[in-house]
Amino acid sequence: MSIEKNTRPLEDGIVRDFSTRMSYGSYLQLPVLLSAQQPVSQPEHHDELLFIIQHQTTELWLKLVLHELRSAAAWLRSDDLGAALKAIARVKHIQKTLTEQWSVLATLTPTEYSEFRAYLGNSSGFQSAQYRAVEFALGNKNAKMIPVFDSDPESRAMLEELLHAPSIYDEFLAYLHRQGFDVPASVLDRDVTQAHEFAPELVPLFKHIYENAQDNWGAYEACEELVDLEDNFQLWRFRHLRTVQRTIGMKAGTGGSSGVSFLQKALELTFFPELFAVRTEIGR
């Protein structure tokens, strides 16, 4: 009797027949998922598969980010701060994964990318509806972005909905108001279809929370979670910019933008400006 020394024996209880059972592949719809990578270069370029998978996996993670942000906003509306912070914590881990993922695409050299870039036409990450949705959910709203999705009614409807819904920051400020904090009416009654702008009247509120953290621990923790969220988003934006610069230099983007200089301007955008401004005031 031969003994296979480097083979793990299958246990008797392991299910082998999936003719009438749901399998791993069928549950995850793997035939659909793994057939969605369709390179367009002719002849097919070796590195195009990397380019496609990089962006497809990003879209999958963005789908989960949106799921968690929508849930966090709903929990804030119902005054369940703990559940909202749990969802935000998960988003932070996803953000870390998304940022680290740029290092894989950065292995694509300028020469390699140039050999199939022309086949992309005008397709560009600028046209990612889910990325815009995340920005809207966090408060960076811009109605001028919506017509980009006129040919995609489902995406346009999603963005229209988020444009008119309070951002997660709006929901947090409304939550603080219901908890008895002195949130200015000018902030509570603002037009939520507009991007949140720095409101100096909010800074004293956050100064009070930070300087009395032991008495306001939930609010204090939430402030720091939101700061983490913005920091992570800015790191993602910066890593994106550097990867693009590394790959195409200062050339224009496939979608018609100026490329790196356009991405640079995004680093000036902020979600929760008062949570950063208050740091200058603490201890004065």
Question: Which CATH code for domain 49-249+258-280?
Answer: 1.20.58.480
At 22 the three-state DSSP class reads: coil
Please report the DSSP string for 222-250 in residue order: HHHHHHHHHHHHHHHHHHHHHHHHHHHTT
CA proximity to 235, closest of 94, 44, 52: 94
User: How big is the chain by its Cα radius of gyration, in Å?
Assistant: 23
Is residue 102 scored above 70 in pLDDT? yes
Query: What residues form the annotated binding site for substrate?
Result: 51-55, 113, 117, 254
- 117 band by pLDDT with thresholds 50, 70 and 90: very high
- The model's pTM: 0.94
Own/partner pairs for 155-158, CB < 8 Å, 24+ apart?
155/129, 156/129, 158/129, 158/133
- Residue 27: pLDDT band by 50, 70, 90 thresholds? very high
Token representation of residue 268: 């000036």
Q: What are 152-205's pLDDT values in tens digits? A: 999 999 999 999 999 999 999 999 999 999 999 999 999 999 999 999 999 999
Q: What residue spans define the domains of the chain?
A: 49-249+258-280
**Cβ–Cβ under 8 Å, residues 243 and 105:** yes
> Which residue positions form the known binding site?
51-55, 113, 117, 240, 254
- Binding-site residues for heme, please? 240
pLDDT of residue 3: 61
Q: Is pLDDT at 10 greater than 90 in this prediction? A: no
Kindly state the percentage of the chain with pLDDT values over 90.
85
For residue range 232-283, list pLDDT tens digits in order.
999 999 999 999 999 989 888 888 788 888 888 888 899 999 999 999 999 8
pLDDT of residue 178: 98
The rounded distance, in Å, linking the Cα atoms of 138 and 99 is 18
Residue linked to tokens 């929508």 = 70
Mean pLDDT of 93-100: 97
Q: What is the mean pLDDT of residues 206-234?
A: 97
